[in-house]
Structure 1
Amino acid sequence: MSKQKWLWGIVVLLLIIASPGIMMRWNAEQSNNSYEIVIPYDEIQTVNKESDLTMDKILSSLKDAGLTTVSLEPLSLKEMEHQGLISTYNESELAAQLRFTPYKGAVDVNKGGYYISVPEDASYQQLIKDSIQPEEVQIGDESFYFLPSSNHRYDLKTPLGYDKLAMDMINKHDLSLIFKVENATNKVANEKIVKQLLELKDSSAGRLLGSGTEAIGFGQNSGNAMVEKLSKAGYYFYTIESNPLKGEDKIAKSTNYNMIRLHSINVNRETKLKLNASIDRTTRAVKERNIRSIFYHIKTKGNAEKNLAETIDYLTGVQKQMPNHFKSGTPELFDVVAVPTWVTALVLLAGILFTYLMSELVKWMPLRIAAVVFMSALAIGYFLLKSTIFLQAFALIIAVMAPTFAVIKAAKGSTRIASILVQYLKAVGISVIGIVIVIGLLNGNAFMTGFEAFKGVKLVYVVPIAGVLLFVMLELNRIVDQDLKKTLSNTVTLLNRDLKYWHVLLLIVVAGIGLFYISRTGNSGSVSNAELAFRQWLENILYVRPRTKEFLIGFPFFVLALYVMGINRKWGSILLVPGVIGFLSIVNTFTHLHIPVAVSALRTLYSVSLGFVVGLVFILIFKIGYRFISKAIA
């Protein structure tokens, strides 16, 4: 016992000494409190075209409501035609139009390509000339640019460059500018876009948002050089949450993960999304997921002025609901979180000792030693090969074992509330040690921006439940013995017993609870409208809501399990199975490494506190029910 206390003390001491690593992440997250709301320029243009409102009026009203940034896509010939700036004809179309004019035969139909009317504004003329370098053709009094089919570098959809008149309009209203960049099919077009971006770089335009499915330069030999030029010029890139582009991970690594996390709200695709839900989603993304840019789409169907009014309501609603410590403006990059090697080494050592302590659940010493050797091998592998996969494997093992061990170690029943509280805090403490090891290892800008992640989230949901269920079965049947042969004999005896109907019924109930539980995990879990409303109410009051499965299911059942075990250990131990849900869930909360540490810590504090109180209510209900049943039987 004394040896164990010393080992626990060493684990805690190692984690305290290694705490500067986690504090670096904490400070980086807390100091990064600026966010922006972005609206695409083409959707603002649509409102202008479909209403009597001027661009100046629209941009002024949006800025007054809280708009900070406008995104601008590069023009293509197709987009210029869509805006009415030019007209394009292939050789057959133009020849057909000239058929009954004096210029019949002026178009060589055997020479394929596109004839492009010359735009009125000189800046658009220059854009076309600088990019596609067309032939100039005169047909009567009309001038055309000719893009031959033999020009494989450009077609109607190839990006040419950015609209300077649009940029002037955006700058006029003192709004920040994001350039959207897509990956052209050839490097020449990409290089010309990069050249223009380098010329346009200033304090109001320093961010690049990928468009399409590929990052600029993806699949091209000069791709890395393009990104390097843009990065050196002061540009930084966005990453769209849940929608990464091909090649984006390479950009992230080459720029030391200087990326801004962006969340898109598209009411044109999500047609059932209500205004309040959009506002809630925005504030939650900013405060809970390190999102610093919200890309909002104006509705394109229906009355344009009503759509603009709804957008203004959204912007003002976000300003009112966003917590005060977040400021609307230009998003900033995270400070560099470079965890020293010695910090990682101390956390790994703490994890190895923690593994040895947890392995006391296994009575066979060779297996305990093997567990420690395996964890040591992962640690050594990381330092030799510098591969994150070793840290991720190490963290996964800690994450699945910590809640399992916490529940089993603290499974000492009592009918005294003080004793129950001690065991409850012991289980929480063990889980917290596991959490600190996990976030201490998986730390840095790659994890904060979401390019690296904890691997094995589903295992954290399943393995602890299976582990505690196995413990309960062993506890109920007294299978485990210090002697391995005796343990095997007990197991064979259990397997030879007759199966009772109540065994099947219990299995069905457990399976039903399991299916319900799994259906609620992850981002696609099913939740009723009433529960959604309850969740939002909690969030409005508490800043972040505690998880329902923690404070209403897991922790209360664990508290009740300890009480019932004080009366009947076997029956009470069954309640440990739902009881472990609370502990595995708080570990899982911290494995979402793009969520700020402060948010996860506050959420866990709420869950642990409220969960114990609800657990006391469970005990009260149990006492009343127990007395009622006892009297009925008597």
Structure 2
Amino acid sequence: MVKQKWLWLVVVALLIISIPGLVNRWNVETSSNNYEIIIPYDEILHVAENSELSVDTVLSRLKEAGLTTVSIEPSSLEELEEQGVLAVYDEYELKSLLLFSPFKDEFDGKKGLYVSIPEDPDFRDFLKDVIQPDEIVIGDVPFYFLPKNNGNYYIDTPIGYNVAAIEKINSHGLMHIFRAKNDEEHVNENIVDQLVSFKNENVSGILGIGEEMIGYGLSVEDKNIHHQIVKRLKDAGYYYYSIDGDNKKQRGEEVFAKATDYDIIRLISMDINKESKLNVPEGVDRSIRAIKERNIKSFFWHIREKGNAEENLDETIRYITDVQAKMEKTAPHFTPGAPILFDKISVPSWVTALVLLSGIIFTYIMSELVRSQILRLLATGFMVLLAGAYFVLDRLLFIQAFALVIACITPIYAVIKASNGSTKIRNILVQYVKAVGISLIGIAIVIGLLNGNGFISGYEAFRGVKLVYIVPIAGIALFVLLNWTNIGSGGLKTGIKQTGLLLDKEIKFWHLLVAVIVAAVGMFYMMRTGNFGPVSGLELKLRQLIEDILYVRPRTKEFLIGFPLFVLALYVMGIHRKLGMIFLIPGVIGFLSIVNTFTHLHIPIGISLLRTFYSVVLGFVVGLVFILIYKVLSHYYAKAKRYMETP
């Protein structure tokens, strides 16, 4: 016992010494407090084209509401025609127009695109430089001509960014970002040339279009070209936007992220045209939650396309103003403006080494659950191998595996170590605090190891989230089973014999019924893990209410299920140990869940701490209520039993 106390002191001391790594993360996360709202320029044009408002009026109203940024996509000839910059005709259209003119005989009918020459000299130079058209004259009207089989540019091929639109946006005091998609090599090269030349203080970000980053390819040659594009954009001073959500990252985006040491802005996209349930209040709540809980600093809002254009503009303005109003009320430290890139999180190698050492000792302590000293040494040796492999091979996978082992075992050890039943609230509180403390030590090891810009930006992650939900429950279930059946209490041979007797028992119908119920509950539990499980409308409203009051919402599975049932388990075990142990199985959910909270490394560490604090405190209070309910039910059960036994 004395030896183990010293080991605990060493673990805690090592973690305290390694605190600078986590302090660096805290400082980096809290120093990036700007957010921006982005609206696409083509949707602004759509409003102007379908209303009595000019583009300048729309931009002015959006700016007054609080819009910070406008996104611009590269335009094709077709889109420049829609914007009124030029006109495009094919040979059939032009022949029809010339049919009743004196110049019809001068038209030779060559197949291709006939482009009217723009009035703006900048556009003329731009078109000649990019698409390199032939210049022809029909009658006294000059045209640019692109042969049909020119092999490079067609009516819908992106040719570049509208300089006039950029100047118009900037004249209203708005920032802009460029959007770019992967296309043919010559198109990509042209777009990258423009991106480099257009870089100034008003633009720093690039947001991708489609599933692939510009320049992405699978062949060796394509990969080389992609790396060259990434280098040019990086050297020009651009950062990249990463769209939040499952399967939203572009292929090739990670190459840019790593090349820039994760100079990435996380963005949430909300398209009211595609999401039937999305409205302004939901969009506002989603935006506030994103910046508070997921390090997201950019909100991309799409203007509604159907219906009255001016009403759709008013709806967008309402979203912008409501975001700012609610932000000032609930999270005033966040302010509108250009998003600030995270500073670099510095984690010295000696800090990582200390955390790994604390994890190795912590593993040895936790392995006391296994009575075999050989198995304890093997478990500890395995962790030593993982730590050594990380330093020798410099592969992140080894440190992720190390963290996964700690995360899976910590909740099991915390619950078992604190499973000393008592009917006294003071004793229950002591055991509760002990279990929480053990969990926090495991958490400190996990987040101490998985620390850096790659993790907070979401490109690197804790691996094995589902295992953290399954292994602890299975471990506690096994612990309860062993205690109920006394398997293993008499040594290996006795344990094997008892296991054989247990397996030889007759299965009854109620056994199958219980198995079906457990399986159903398990499936529901797994469906509810993560961020995308089914949630009722009423639950969503309750969640939002709690969030508005507490700043961040504690997890339901922690403060209403896991922690209260663990408290109840300790109380019932003080009366009937075997009966109370059943409640340890759902009780471990609270502890595995707080470990899981911190493994979502893109969530600010301060938010995870606050959420866990709420869960621990509220969970204990709810647990006391569960004890009271248990007492009442036990009283009436005993009373009913005496009544039934009375002759």
| TM-score, scaled to structure 1 | 0.97
How far apart, in 2, do the equivalents of 1:209 and 1:24 lie?
A: 28
* Higher alpha-carbon deviation: 521-530 or 99-108: 99-108
How far apart, in 2, do the equivalents of 1:273 and 1:207 lie?
A: 27
The CA deviation string for residues 159-217 of structure 1, in whole angstroms up to 9 with x for no partner, is 2221121111111111111111222311x332332222232222111221112222122
Whether contact under 8 Å (2:70, 2:175) holds in the other structure is yes
Whether contact under 8 Å (2:212, 2:250) holds in the other structure is yes
2:13 alignment counterpart: 13
SS at match of 2:206: strand
How far apart, in 2, do the equivalents of 1:632 and 1:469 lie?
A: 31
2:156 alignment counterpart: 157
Runs ≥4 residues deviating over 4 A: 95-109
Whether contact under 8 Å (1:363, 1:482) holds in the other structure is no
* Higher alpha-carbon deviation: 615-624 or 219-228: 219-228
2:611 alignment counterpart: 603
The CA deviation string for residues 23-80 of structure 1, in whole angstroms up to 9 with x for no partner, is 1111100111111011111111111111112222222221121111111111111211
1:235 to 232, 235, 238: 238
Whether contact under 8 Å (1:402, 1:434) holds in the other structure is yes
| Residue identity in the other structure for 1:239 | S
The answer to whether the aligner puts 1:510 opposite 2:548 as a matched pair is: no
How far apart, in 1, do the equivalents of 2:105 and 2:480 lie?
A: 91
| Residue identity in the other structure for 1:83 | Q
The answer to whether the aligner puts 1:57 opposite 2:61 as a matched pair is: no
| Residue identity in the other structure for 2:297 | R
Paired residues for 1:513-592 under 5 Å: 513-592=521-600
1:439 to 447, 451, 457: 447
1:327 alignment counterpart: 335
1:309 to 296, 306, 314: 314
2:188 to 190, 198, 201: 190
How far apart, in 2, do the equivalents of 1:283 and 1:320 lie?
A: 11
Distance apart, 1:373 and its partner CA: 1.4
* Higher alpha-carbon deviation: 454-463 or 362-371: 362-371
How far apart, in 2, do the equivalents of 1:82 and 1:202 lie?
A: 27
SS at match of 1:454: coil
What are structure 2's unaligned runs of at least 5 residues?
643-647
How far apart, in 1, do the equivalents of 2:637 and 2:475 lie?
A: 32
The CA deviation string for residues 579-614 of structure 1, in whole angstroms up to 9 with x for no partner, is 011111111111111000000110000000000000
How far apart, in 1, do the equivalents of 2:106 and 2:386 lie?
A: 75
Going from structure 1 to structure 2, the CA distance change for 1:149 and 1:373 (only over 3 Å counts) comes to: farther
| TM-score, scaled to structure 2 | 0.95
How far apart, in 2, do the equivalents of 1:364 and 1:491 lie?
A: 19
Whether contact under 8 Å (1:91, 1:107) holds in the other structure is no
How far apart, in 2, do the equivalents of 1:272 and 1:532 lie?
A: 13
How far apart, in 2, do the equivalents of 1:510 and 1:474 lie?
A: 19
Paired residues for 1:405-554 under 5 Å: 405-481=413-489, 483-554=491-562
Distance apart, 1:108 and its partner CA: 4.9
How far apart, in 2, do the equivalents of 1:213 and 1:115 lie?
A: 33
SS at match of 2:632: helix
The answer to whether the aligner puts 1:287 opposite 2:292 as a matched pair is: yes
* Higher alpha-carbon deviation: 161-170 or 447-456: 161-170
Distance apart, 1:106 and its partner CA: 4.7
How far apart, in 1, do the equivalents of 2:160 and 2:536 lie?
A: 48
Whether contact under 8 Å (1:207, 1:238) holds in the other structure is yes
Distance apart, 1:103 and its partner CA: 4.5
Whether contact under 8 Å (1:265, 1:297) holds in the other structure is yes
The CA deviation string for residues 75-109 of structure 1, in whole angstroms up to 9 with x for no partner, is 11121123243333334544455456554565555
1:626 to 619, 627, 634: 634
How far apart, in 1, do the equivalents of 2:111 and 2:348 lie?
A: 62
Whether contact under 8 Å (1:91, 1:108) holds in the other structure is no
How far apart, in 1, do the equivalents of 2:97 and 2:395 lie?
A: 65
SS at match of 1:227: helix
Aligned length, in residue pairs: 632
1:211 alignment counterpart: 209
Whether contact under 8 Å (1:85, 1:119) holds in the other structure is yes
| Residue identity in the other structure for 1:374 | F
Distance apart, 1:245 and its partner CA: 1.1
SS at match of 2:180: strand
SS at match of 1:466: helix
SS at match of 1:75: coil
Going from structure 1 to structure 2, the CA distance change for 1:107 and 1:394 (only over 3 Å counts) comes to: farther
2:645 alignment counterpart: none
Distance apart, 1:522 and its partner CA: 1.9
Paired residues for 1:224-373 under 5 Å: 224-242=227-245, 243-322=248-327, 323-373=331-381
SS at match of 1:217: coil
SS at match of 2:574: helix
| Residue identity in the other structure for 2:169 | I
The CA deviation string for residues 393-426 of structure 1, in whole angstroms up to 9 with x for no partner, is 1111111111111111111111011111111111
1:178 alignment counterpart: 177
Whether contact under 8 Å (1:65, 1:316) holds in the other structure is yes
How far apart, in 2, do the equivalents of 1:78 and 1:466 lie?
A: 61
2:410 alignment counterpart: 402
| Residue identity in the other structure for 2:302 | H
Going from structure 1 to structure 2, the CA distance change for 1:93 and 1:54 (only over 3 Å counts) comes to: closer
Percent same amino acid among aligned pairs?
A: 57
Whether contact under 8 Å (1:131, 1:189) holds in the other structure is no
Whether contact under 8 Å (1:47, 1:308) holds in the other structure is yes
SS at match of 2:114: strand
SS at match of 1:222: helix
2:77 alignment counterpart: 77
Whether contact under 8 Å (2:106, 2:139) holds in the other structure is no
